[in-house]
Amino acid sequence: MENYFDSNTPIYLQLVKLFTIRIAGGEWNPGDRVMSVRDLAVTFKVNPNTVQRALAELERDGLVYTERTSGRFITGEKEKILEARSSLADQKIADFVKQMRQLGYSREQWLALVEETMKKENT
């Protein structure tokens, strides 16, 4: 698995976002055991301390929890997962709107583009 990290953002924050997407998107399910720090570090080709920092952040956010001798697990708190999902969606939408403005599209124009794209997806 090849990973390309953005050099403008700390890698641990990029891992937090990636792991949050996996949790919010259902790839990592509530109650699932999270891979070990070492295994994640090998998978993503990063330092284990970087993975540890990312997981600590997720734990602070309530998306993972630690069971003393068993490891880390994905939270079963659906509300936390829904909050993370909503937050990710809000950020994506804000980024999209900003980029459309930079390209010179009006609100009506980019809304029309979104509708057109959605129609294409449904056919």
- pLDDT for 30-65, tens place per residue? 999 999 999 999 999 999 999 999 999 999 999 999
Q: How far is CA 122 from the centre of its chain?
A: 26
Written as six digits, the tokens of 78 are: 């659906």
Mean of pLDDT values over 20-31: 96
Is a pLDDT exceeding 70 seen at residue 2? no
DSSP state of 72: E
Chain centroid offset of residue 111 CA: 25
**For residue 3, what pLDDT is reported?**
63
**Structural tokens at position 113:** 């583009």
pLDDT higher for 39 or 121? 39
pLDDT value for 1 = 46
Q: Is 115 exposed, middle or buried (0-12, 13-18, 19+ CB in 10 A)?
A: exposed
